Structures are given as C-alpha cells and as structure tokens.
Structure 1
Amino acid sequence: MLVAFLAFFAIALPDGVLGVAWPSMRLDFGVPIGALGVMLPFAVVCSMLSSSATGFVLGRIGIGWLLTVSTALAATALFIQSLAAAFWVVVAASCLFAVGSGAIDAGLNAHVARRFSARRITWLHACYGVGAACGPLIVSGTAGLGLSWRWAFGAVAAIQGVLALAFMVTARSWVAPIPAARRASDGWFPVRGAWPGVTLFAVYTGLEASASLWAYTYLTGARGLRPASAALLVSAYWLTLVMGRVALGPIADRTGARPMLLACFGGLTAGAALLFLPGRAAAAGILMLALAAAPVFPLLTLTTKDRVGAHHADRVIGFQVAAGSAGAATIPAVIGVLIGRFGADVLAPCLVVLALAATSTYLLATRSTSKASSAPSR
C-alpha cells in the first residue's frame, strides 16, 4: 500500500517539470518556444499506445513486473533527457518516457481499481496531485542553487530509479487475480458499456485540463481580475482538487460511487455556469469546478468493473487512460484556437458544453450497463 502511494506521487513529478524547465531548455537547444508543440504529439501517441496495450501485458507478466520495467524505462528516458545535446534526443527520450509512464498510469489504475475502496483510490490520486505540484518546486530549487535544468531532470530520474528498485523488490507481493479464460468472441470492446466509458474519460479529462490551463487567461482577459489574483486562484484550483480527493473519498465510501459521481457532474455544470457571472462568482466557479472534478477520475476508474465486468476491466481501464491522454491533449488545444479567434469569453460556454456532454455520456454508460446486466442469459 505504501509503495502504491509513493508510486502515484513519483510518477506525477515529471508532469510538473517540463513546463517550468522548457524556457531554459529551448535556449540550450536553440529552438523556438513553440517547439514544445512538436514534441508533445509524439509523446501523447506513444502514451496512448502504451496505455491501450497495458491490459494485455498485465495478463502475461503481472502488475509487479509491469511496473518495474515501465518505471525503469521512464527513469532511463529522464536520464537521457538530462544529458541530451540535441533537441531530437529530447524528443526521442520523451517518446520512451511516454511508453513507460503510460503503462505505469494504466497499470496502477487497474490494480487499485481492483483492490481498493473509493476512499483509498481517491487518496492515491491526491498523492498524484501533490507530486505534480512538487515537480516545479524541484526545478525552482535547482535553479535557486545555480544549477541548470538538467539537474532537475536528473533528480527526478533518480527518484524514478529508486521507485523501479522498490517495484522490483516487491514485485511478487503485487497480487494479481487469476485471469479468466479468454473467449473467442472477445474483442477489444466486448461489452456495450466500454465505448461510452472510454468516451467519457476523453471528455472529462479534456474539461479538467481546459479549466486549469485557460482559467488564468479567462479570469484576467474576460473577468478583469488582476494577474496576481488570477494566479492565486489557479493555485487554489489545484489545492482544491487535491483536498477534494482527500475529503470526498470517505464520503463516497458511505454514499456509493454513483450518487457521488452524479453530484460531481452536477457540480461541474454549475461551476462552469458560474463563469458567465462577473467578479467573485466567476472565481467561485473555478473553485467549484475543482471540487466537483476531484473524485471523478478515480471513481470512474473504480467503477469500470461495474460497467464492463471484472473480466474486461484491466483492458478497458488501459483504453480509458489512453482516451484521457487524448482528451487532455486535444480539447484544450481546440479551446485555445477558439479563444484566439473569439476571445477569452468563449471558455465558459465551452466548459458548460463539456460538463453536459460528460454527464450525458456517464448516464449512457451506466444505462448500457444496466441493460446488459438485466438481459436474460443464454
């Protein structure tokens, strides 16, 4: 259990490092600031492919060795980036890192969804948020010591390496269920609830990523907040997301995941609607979005087996994580294009549409599950 908490913390560290280190990195490599956009699509595709294949790999080597190998790949990639002398090396290493991190993300989520309660899975995802927040601190800390960005990547690589060793030592203790017999009729998506669930992950993660990415632009450009106040609210967004996972997990244990998820989707819609209002109401909307979003990803992961059956859960979780990566990469980019064309005001209606789409897709996924479970057996 402790290793799982540390794993969620450690795998999030690189997420917060690249964005802060990039201005210094691109000067070393002599590339424009927009070159980051060249690297990210390759990494996203590699992560999606890796996440999608995780369910199949789990059935062959087990969760312990999957995490060991994947974390070692991620550590190696970060170490290569810390020594890179050319931009193309960073791009290649980012693809290697994406393969490792995609498998870690999907593998850990599949494992905890199978074994842990709503409280524990939300707390594990809270650790991820803490790790993502600590990544920039590592970059700023090394810079404060007069060291280059390479030391930050090296430090995170070392942490990942230690984690890989921990996974290797404990590999046999990561108990996996006995795999069910594979039926000849099984495809990638053998049940009706799979496609709506996968789509839901893309829509939801796109909403969460868009709210966090464009909140500052919206608050300063459309609602006239001072830059310092807007920056404080964005920080409060992430703090609320982490604390919401800590607080709402035990409540979900008592109420059940479905009532909590329905309340959260309602909160997402209400929070997005508040962005239409001026001043403090818009600020409250940002925080409501964070609180409502807090338990959604872990609870949707936890209830995958209810939507598609335990036999298919590991494979479908892999596809859900892949879809989440795609949504987080593409939806904020599309909204960015719209903001560039129509102005920052467009964020509020976009988030309302995404919240309603996520709610509708969740209801469709659970309705499909109900119909499938009530159908007569043959």
Structure 2
Amino acid sequence: MASLLLAVIYLIFVSLGLPDSLLGAGWPTMHKAFGVPSSYAGYVSMTIAFMTIISALLSPKLIQKVHTKWIVAVSISLTVLGLLGFSFSSAYFMLFLFAVPYGFGAGAIDAAVNHYVASNYSGSVMNFLHCFYGVGAVISPNIMAAALKHAQWNEGYRWTSYMQALILLVVIVSFSLWSKNEKSQKEDDSGSKGIRQTLKAPGVLSTLISFFGYCAGEATCFLWTSSYFAGTKEGLSKEIVASFASLIFGGLMLGRIVSGLVSNKLGDKKLIRFGILVEFVGILLVLASPDNYVLAAVGFVTIGCGMGPVYPGIQHMAPAKFGKKYSASAIGLQMASAYVGTTFMPMVFGQLQQIVGIWIMPWYILFFMLINFGFLELSHKQCQKRPAGV
C-alpha cells in the first residue's frame, strides 16, 4: 500500500511539471498570434505566479484542516480548467482570466505534497520525486512542439489538459491509500506554528530570500530559454526553438536523478553547494557560446543539472532545520517566496531584454544564483543558533 501511494505521489509530481513549461515553449508563436510584444509573456506569467503565492500562503491552514488528497484533487482540477481555458483563448486578455485557476491550483498542492514528503520520506525520495516534476516539464514543451508542427499552439494546451485529467482520475481512484497516512500526519501537524511565529524563527527569513533567488533564476529559464535561442541564434525553425524550452527541464530531471542516488550519503547541504557550482559552470558555457547554439544548449542543460538538487534540498531540510512545529508554515512560506521570484523576475527580465537585448539572460541568471548561494549559507549559520528541541 505504501509503495502504491508513493507511485501516485510520483505521478502528482509529473502533473506539477506539465503546466509550467508550456507558456515559455509556445510564447514565440503565441505572441505573434495575439499581436502583442514578446515581453508580454511576463504579465501572464506574473498573474499565474501571483495566484500561486496566494494559494501557497493559504496552505499551512489547509494542511491542518483538509486532507492532502482533497488538496491534490481540487488543485489538479483547477489546472485542468486553466489549461483548457488557455487552449480556447482567442485574445490576449483571455489568458489572464484562465491564469487564475491555472496558478491557484499550483501553490497549495506544491506546499502540501512537499510537506508530506519532507515529513515522511528521505532526501533521496524527495529528489526522485522532484525529478518526476522534471519529467512533466520535459514532456509539455515537446507536446507544444508537436502541436506547432501538426496543428497550432492551442492544441498544445488542450493535449496537456487531457494528460492532467488522466492523472486526476488516478488520484481520485487512489483516495483509499491516503487514509491511514493522513491520520498520523494530522497528529504530527496538530501543534504547528503559524506564519508570524515561523517568520521569527532563526534562519527562516534568509532561507526565503535564498529561495526567492533560486526560483527567480529558474523561472526566467523556464519562460525565456526558447526566446533566448530565437533572439540570439539564427536559422532555427520555430519547432526546434519551442523544443529548446525542455533543455532546462531535462537538466533538472537529470540532476535530480543523480541527486536521488547520492543525497543520503552527501546530505542536503553538500548536495546543494555542489549543484550551485555545476549551475555556475553551465552559465559560463552559455556565455562562451554567442553564436554556437549546440554549446549554448549544453550550457542550459548543465544549468538545469546544477539547479536540480536545490529546490528539493531546501524543502527537505525544513523539518530538521527549523523543527517540525515550524515546518508546515516554513514550507508554505518558502513556496510563497519562491513564487514571488517566479511572479516578478521573469517579467522584469522581459522588460530588461527589450531594452538591452536578450543576450543578457545568462548574466541575469548569474545574479540570482549568487543571491541563492549567499543567503542560504547565511541561513545555515543562523540555524546553528536555534535552541535544541525547538
């Protein structure tokens, strides 16, 4: 039963990844169809992420009062609605209407499932699960590429919504598997601290800034990688440009597979440090390839590999780093902080690249990599001062 539930959770992580890379993959074609500038992708992405922030901030109370299985089922249903809405959008403003369920469905499920896994499974399991997020995020740009080749961009969203609906059906069928685990989880969460108390705990605020930095760089890659190749490399077809959105996700998936194999031996701290070093190497490769799209593609895959262990590592550390009483709120705050980075920084980059040029993208990623590393190291030092047993 436990292994079956874990298999369902793996599938849930696939569903988390499916919607995230579609906008970046389809936007080089979509913005022309809507007759809007390339930078307008940032406004849609910001709306999706803003709704996710609200959902993530509500998650600590939801986790205490609502079964995780219901949070998952309702959240996936909302993303199905959002994806279908995008597929039927015939004007730019319609994207904002459907960005509301699209984004709201992501925050609570992400926080709830990450808290559940961090509290009940090893770091190895957490990395493998986030690898499956990468599976979903790699699949959808290729769905979009196939849609652009054989139909139009709308079908990319529609076909992805059908996959989400199938995963939702599996989750509903698996409801009985959650019951026993949910009971023990509710007992563990019964004395959880609120958001205000958690913000005062040592190391929490600096971790939130670090997570903001990580997700700002990650989300910029998600949204703008295809546009980077379209704007800096000549002679590439629109199908190839769309498929390049999967480079960063393929790297994330590979990085998390490797991390899952070694995380129990190295531990979260060492693994994250090594990952950030690999990310830095990837940024250097992109900077070294102004005209060579193959080397740039290798660079983005390497950036993704380096990013791979950072997100799951920070999430998995929460119960041990802050204490179990703070972990649910800490993870909810981490999700909200992450989506603040996701909301605003791709939009800021959209404006910046329109003024300076999209060639600046690797420098932008480097800036947020340094924020991620610096504040995470600061949080480790602050948490060493936490009284034992808190």
Instruction: Give me the TM-score of the superposition, normalised by structure 1.
Output: 0.83
Change in 2 beyond 3 A, CA 1:345/1:108: same
1:91 is matched with 96
Contact 2:75 2:109 survives alignment (8 Å): yes
* TM superposition shift of 1:266: 3.2
2:66 is matched with 61
- The equivalent position to 2:322 in structure 1, one of 303, 308, 311, is 308
- Confirm whether residue 321 of structure 1 aligns to residue 311 of structure 2: no
* TM superposition shift of 1:226: 6.2
Cα distance in 1 between the residues matched to 2:90 and 2:334: 36
2:275 is matched with 264
Contact 2:204 2:379 survives alignment (8 Å): yes
2:168 is matched with 164
Instruction: Give me the TM-score of the superposition, normalised by structure 2.
Output: 0.80
SS in 1 for 2:369: helix
* TM superposition shift of 1:302: 0.7
Cα distance in 1 between the residues matched to 2:130 and 2:308: 9
Identity percentage of aligned residues: 22
Unaligned runs of 5+ in 2: 1-5
SS in 2 for 1:364: helix
RMSD value, Cα: 3.6
* TM superposition shift of 1:49: 0.5
* TM superposition shift of 1:235: 5.4
Cα distance in 2 between the residues matched to 1:216 and 1:42: 20
Query: Could you give the per-residue CA deviations for residues 146-178 of structure 1, whole angstroms, max 9, x where no partner exists?
Result: 4x5444433333332332333233234332311
Q: Between 356-365 and 83-92, report the one with greater CA deviation.
A: 83-92
Equivalent AA in structure 2 for residue 268 of structure 1 = E
Cα distance in 2 between the residues matched to 1:346 and 1:359: 21
1:244 is matched with 255
Change in 2 beyond 3 A, CA 1:282/1:352: farther
Unaligned runs of 5+ in 1: none
Query: Could you give the per-residue CA deviations for residues 115-138 of structure 1, whole angstroms, max 9, x where no partner exists?
Result: 222222212212111211211333
2:3 is matched with none
- Confirm whether residue 103 of structure 1 aligns to residue 108 of structure 2: yes
Cα distance in 2 between the residues matched to 1:285 and 1:167: 36
SS in 1 for 2:386: helix
Change in 2 beyond 3 A, CA 1:182/1:131: closer
Change in 2 beyond 3 A, CA 1:186/1:210: closer
1:196 is matched with 206
Q: Between 50-59 and 321-330, report the one with greater CA deviation.
A: 321-330
Cα distance in 1 between the residues matched to 2:160 and 2:302: 32
The structure having more radius of gyration, on CA atoms, is 1
1:153 is matched with 157
